[in-house]
Amino acid sequence: MGGVILDLSVDHTLSAFSQLSKIDKDTVKRIFGSSPEFDLYEKGLLDDGEFRNFIRTAYNVIVADHEIDRCWNAMLLGIPLVKLNLLKRLQQSYSVFLLSNTNNIHLDYINNTILHGITGERLLDNYFHKAYYSQRMKKRKPEPEIFIQVLEENMLVPSQTLFLDDNALNIQSADKVGIKTAHITNPDLVLEIFESFI
C-alpha cells in the first residue's frame, strides 16, 4: 500500500514526533529505527493503547491519544484518485490483492479520512479481491511466510503472480518464493507499468 498506492513520507511523522517531544529529529529517527515495538505493532502483537503508551515512553511525552495519532498519521499523505480508478480497472481483468504492513491507527485513518475524503467510501478493501494486513495476519513483510500464506489461500501460481512494493527487502523476499516482482522506486512507476489500463 504505502509507496505504491498510498503516497507516503515517514519523514513527516519523524518531524511531527520531534516537534511534539522537543527531541531532535535524528534522535527521533534513531528510536524509530531501533525499537522493536514498531514492528510488533504492525504484527498485531501490541494493541493501540500499548503502542500509544510506548510512544509516550520512547519520546517522553504526556499527551492525549489524538496527538499521538496525529503525529503517527502524518506520514500518510493521500491516495491519488487515478490509482483508485486503476485498481477498479485491474479488477476487471486480474485478481488483485493488497498485502500491507500496516496497523489499526493507520488503517482507520486511511479508510475514514483519506479514502472517505476522496470517494465518500470508508473501506479500501473494496478496491481489491482480498486485502491482507500484517496486524491481522500476525506476520509482516519481508517474512517469507506472509507471501506463502497469500499464495496458498488464493491458489496463486508464484510465477504468474506480480508483487509490487517500494521496499527492496520485501521485493527480495518475494523473489525468493518465486513471485515476479516490480520494485516501485517512485510513486508514478505504478501508472507507467499499467499505462494501458489508465
pLDDT in tens, 1-24: 999 999 999 999 999 999 999 999
Distance CA 90, CA 196 (A): 10
Q: Are 12 and 74 in contact (CB under 8 A)?
A: yes
Fold matches, 7-76 and 78-197: no
The span from the CA of 26 to the CA of 77, in Å, is 22
**CA distances for 104 relative to 21, 69, 146, 152, 179, angstroms:** 23, 11, 18, 25, 28
The CATH code that applies to domain 78-197 is 3.40.50.1000
List pLDDT tens digits, range 65-77: 999 999 999 999 9
The ranges assigned to domains in the chain are 7-76, 78-197
Q: Tell me the backbone φ, ψ of residue 72, rounded to 5 degrees.
A: -65, -40
Give residue 89's pLDDT. 96
- Residues above pLDDT 70, as percent of the chain: 100
CATH 1.10.150.240 fits 7-76, yes or no: yes
| Residue % of the chain over a pLDDT of 90 | 98
SS3 10: helix
Q: Strands 76-78 and 7-8: what pairing?
A: antiparallel
